[in-house]
Amino acid sequence: MYNNNINTLRFLGAFLVLFGHTFVLCGGPGGGYDPISQWLKGVTAYQAKLPGIGVAMFFVLSGYLVTRSFDNRRSLIQYLEARALRIFPALWVTLLLTVLVLGPLVTTLEPGAYFTQQGTWNYLLYNAKLYPDIMHRLPGVFMDNPRAGGVNGSLWTLPVEVRMYALVALLGVAGVIRRRAVFNLLALVIVIWFILSPEHFFLLYRPEHEVLAVYFLLGALFYVNRDSISYHWIGVALLGALVFISFKGAMYNLVYALWFSYLVLYLSFHRRLKLPDLGKRGDFSYGLYLWAFPVTQVNILIFGPQHPWFLVLVTFAATMVLAVCSWYYVEKPALRLKGRLTGAGSAAG
């Protein structure tokens, strides 16, 4: 399981989000897509651009690995402990530093006014619990940037992720994850429901979030059926042919999502495919994802929005420093607590 390319793909996904968001933030509302996204949105499912491609990669892998996490532990408490330790410590540190350090430095308000605004503490509290949704603004922060007031737009995916964790827990407790036929039938019903009536889809808070649920469920589906699925370039080609045949048809989004999910897992697990190990010294993808958006906004504030390619380089360098610190001083120590808080000993995943 560990001889794979997962960390590299997660890192790549985080970088795609950083890259695409830099152009969006420089361009402001209604514009600013990078050249690759301009082309991608015409051919990808759900008109996904580079940030959407990166996030979809995360959700396919998360669906596979989180389902595996429950299956390995066979304990709801251990599973919830592992998921909480993975997502919340780094998030909380990011939020605290954003509110208490970054906010006062860049806000247009006086410090006293900034700290007495209810919006300052709502940003911290709402985003810390990821329920029911997140807040995007801090008082007076980044108000002169092209994308005015956006502090950390990347956080919108985290409530979706947490709801998917809850769904896996529900299915796991019900014993569905270990009953392949039942899981497959249920997944089929959920996907059909989403196709026929996405506005009444029951899983998530906002309709636009449900696209990520599809990628997560496909990742989970591949895990549950792992003994029956092999990853081969022929599979990539055959599913790619179906994507071509169904292009812009009624089933195109689902067929594309299935091909994309298979491709991500093919790149992750193919035994002969060895990508450069970008996770060799640590899993920096989550920290990169958490910090890229606010760091981009800071750099736009300092250097201006005229040169997005330059800002990509500057943002990547600065965000990597924060991501490395997040991994070694927050995430890795938190992950060492797996099994200790519940007294169950450590477990993989």
What averages of pLDDT result for each successive group of 10 residues across the chain (349 residues)?
80 96 84 84 86 95 96 88 96 98 96 96 95 90 94 94 93 92 88 66 65 91 94 94 90 90 94 83 95 98 95 98 98 91 58
Tokens 């780094």 belong to residue: 90
Task: Note whether residue 166 is domain-resident.
Answer: yes
* Residue 340 falls inside a structural domain: no
Give a yes or no: residue 346 inside a domain.
Answer: no
**Burial tier of 280 (Cβ tally within 10 Å: 0-12, 13-18, 19+):** exposed
Q: Is 147 within the bounds of a domain? A: yes
Q: Which residue has the tokens 């990520």?
A: 212
Question: Is 25 within the bounds of a domain?
Answer: yes
- For residue 349, being part of any structural domain is answered with no
pTM of model > 0.85:
yes
Question: Is-contact 266 236, C-beta < 8 A?
Answer: yes
Dist CA 259 CA 252 (whole Å):
10
Mapped onto helix, strand or coil, the DSSP state of residue 143 is: coil
Crossing angle between the packed helical segments 50-73 and 76-97, to the nearest 10 degrees: 140
d(CA 155, CA 290): 7
Q: How far is CA 267 from the centre of its chain?
A: 18
- Residue identified by tokens 């361009």 is 27
Q: Is residue 1 part of a domain?
A: no
Domain that holds residue 110: 6-335
Residue 347 lies in a domain: no
Name, in order, each residue with C-beta under 8 angstroms of 213's C-beta and a sequence gap of 6 or more. Answer: 160, 163, 164, 194, 201, 203, 204
What total of structural domains would you count in the chain?
1
